[in-house]
Amino acid sequence: MKKAIQKKAYSAAAAPVKKTLTVKSKKPAETKSLKKQYLKSDNICKVTFRLPKEAAQDAEMVTIVGDFNNWNMTENRMKKLKNGDFTLTLDLACNREYRFRYLVDANRWENDWFAERYVPNKFGTEDSVVVCMNEQAI
């Protein structure tokens, strides 16, 4: 009987320990690029602009300023998301290119990190560009 007890104790100690690991499924990475949606009924492109929190650096307010609002620095205020990004969706006329920049806390300019291209401006810096070309309308 003594052997059986020792054998049982040994078997339990020698048995591999099974650990259950809980792995949280990751959400798909949220895209940070400009999102465009062309409306079939109108000659309109819905553009969602997003300034990531890394570019906003604890900003309280961000506005988007560009050709589409005659460079008005207060007209298009962006919404701050819980994750710190700023976003805004605008309806823009198709078959045009628009220069734009972000104005952070009314004192610092930032370009869109995911703009389709950049063009020099008269201030010695560059403007971001979004292209709204509806292939179906051409």
Q: What is the pLDDT, as a whole number, of residue 11?
A: 43
pLDDT of residue 3: 52
Distances (CA, A) of 125 to 108, 115, 118: 13, 15, 10
Q: Is the pLDDT of residue 94 over 80?
A: yes
What is the residue range of 110's domain? 33-132
The residue-averaged pLDDT of 10-15 equals 45
Q: Which CATH number goes with the domain that contains 111?
A: 2.60.40.10
Let me know if residue 113 belongs to a domain.
yes
Is pLDDT above 80 for 121?
yes
* Count of domains observed in the chain: 1
- Give phi and psi for 6, each to the nearest 5: -65, -40
In a domain? residue 4: no
pTM to 2 decimals?
0.75
